[in-house]
Amino acid sequence: MHALNGCLLALLAITLSQMGSALSLTLVGSLGIAMTAWLRLVISAVVILTVLRWRKIAITLTGEILILAVSVAGMAFLFIKSLTFIPLPAATALQFIGPCVLSFITAAKALEYLFSLFALAGMALVTLDLAAIPLAWQGICCALLSGGFWALYIIVSKKAGKRHDGFNCLSMAIVWASCGMTPFMMSHFSLPSLGELLMAVLAACCLPLLPYFLEMSALRRINTYTFSLITSLEPCVSVAISFLLLGHHSTRMQLFGTGLIVIACGSASFFAHHNERRRHRPPVR
């Protein structure tokens, strides 16, 4: 159940992340890219310092915290930037290349490589119809760089999650990320309205506040390969969120690709749970 719970936490984090991205896109038109990304991080930092009580949080800027802070800020800004050039499903698919490459690197068995190929094929089918849409090179570059920061975040989060202060480390990474972006916001700052502020609070809860801590919990329960593969569900969730919140419809090809990804992730989750049960099975006398 430990591994199965980790897979479910990762899936919930993915769903919330896509909802946060869709909500953020509604704010970009009025607040701008940088302001939207910064406001989400600031709100998250305020919640963290309020709930966790800042006196009990270590404020030392260690190497782990610095890397996580750069990763969090990079993902937040670059992904929102990409959405101003290309559709949400395309940006999500391009961003997923980072974790997908990581799943190949961390795969240890032939079956794991097969699951990764299934996920990659499904992702290609999900985004196949997007090939007819002209995608701006700026959006492609931003989405790919965001995926690189995502892979870096997964690696460092896994190491931090193994330690007892993993959540502390991630909390301060979000705080430092918001502080690091603040000086660059002087020329972009605009006072949000009450409606925009409430929308920003909701977007911040969906991304980064809740997903990052859910992912940290998931990485404590499953290995890097399984987590990276489960993130391949992101394009599928993106298609669903785009339909529900933005009115974008899915094709049969996209639905078939979604099925392939679900099979790959379901198989990886099953084997992770099966291997965990084998490890904890008492020896036969």
Q: From CA 215, how far away is CA 227, in angstroms rounded?
A: 9
Which residues, at least 6 apart from 275, have a Cβ–Cβ distance to it below 8 Å? 3
What's the mean per-residue pLDDT of the chain?
79
As given in the structure block, the two tokens for residue 37 are: 């990304």
pLDDT digits (tens, 9 = 90+) for 71-104: 999 998 999 889 888 877 778 777 877 887 787 7
Model pLDDT for residues 13-26, shown as the tens digit of each residue: 988 988 898 888 88
Cα–Cα distance for residue pair 261/233, rounded to 1 Å? 6
* 153 contacts 72 by C-beta, under 8 angstroms: yes
Query: What's the pLDDT at 234?
Result: 76
Question: Cα–Cα distances in Å, from 258 out to 44, 84, 105?
Answer: 32, 25, 23
**Looking at this protein, which amino acid is placed at residue 35?**
M
**pLDDT given for residue 205 in this prediction:** 92
Q: pTM for the complete prediction? A: 0.80
Give the gyration radius of the chain's Cα atoms. Answer: 19
267 belongs to a structural domain: yes
Sign of CA dihedral 9, 11, 87, 200: negative
Full domain range(s) for residue 270: 2-280
Q: Is residue 103 included in any domain, yes or no?
A: yes
pLDDT score, position 273: 56
Q: In degrees rounded to 5, what are phi and psi of residue 188?
A: -110, -5
Domain-located, residue 254:
yes
Average pLDDT over residues 47-67: 72
User: What confidence category does residue 285 fall into, taking pLDDT thresholds of 50, 70 and 90?
Assistant: very low
The whole-number pLDDT of residue 206 equals 92
Which pLDDT belongs to residue 34? 86
Query: Into how many domains does the chain fold?
Result: 1
Whether residue 29 is contained in a domain is answered as yes
285 within domain boundaries: no
Residue 147 counted as domain residue: yes
Q: What is the reported pLDDT for 51? A: 77
Is 153 part of a structural domain of the chain? Answer: yes
CA atoms within 13 A on the CB side of 168: 14
Most confidently predicted of 118-132, 210-224, 258-272? 210-224
The percentage of residues in the chain with a pLDDT greater than 90, rounded to a whole number, is 16
DSSP secondary structure letters along the chain: -HHHHHHHHHHHHHHHHHHHHHHHHHHHHHH-HHHHHHHHHHHHHHHHHHHTTGGGS-----HHHHHHHHHHHHHHHHHHHHHTTS-HHHHHHHHHHHHHHHHHHH--SHHHHHHHHHHHHHHHHHTGGGGGSPPPHHHHHHHHHHHHHHHHHHHHHHHHHTSTTHHHHHHHHHHHHHHHHGGGGTTT--PPPHHHHHHHHHHHIIIIIHHHHHHHHHHTTS-HHHHHHHGGGHHHHHHHHHHHHH-PPPPHHHHHHHHHHHHHHHHHHHHHHHHHHHHHSPPP-
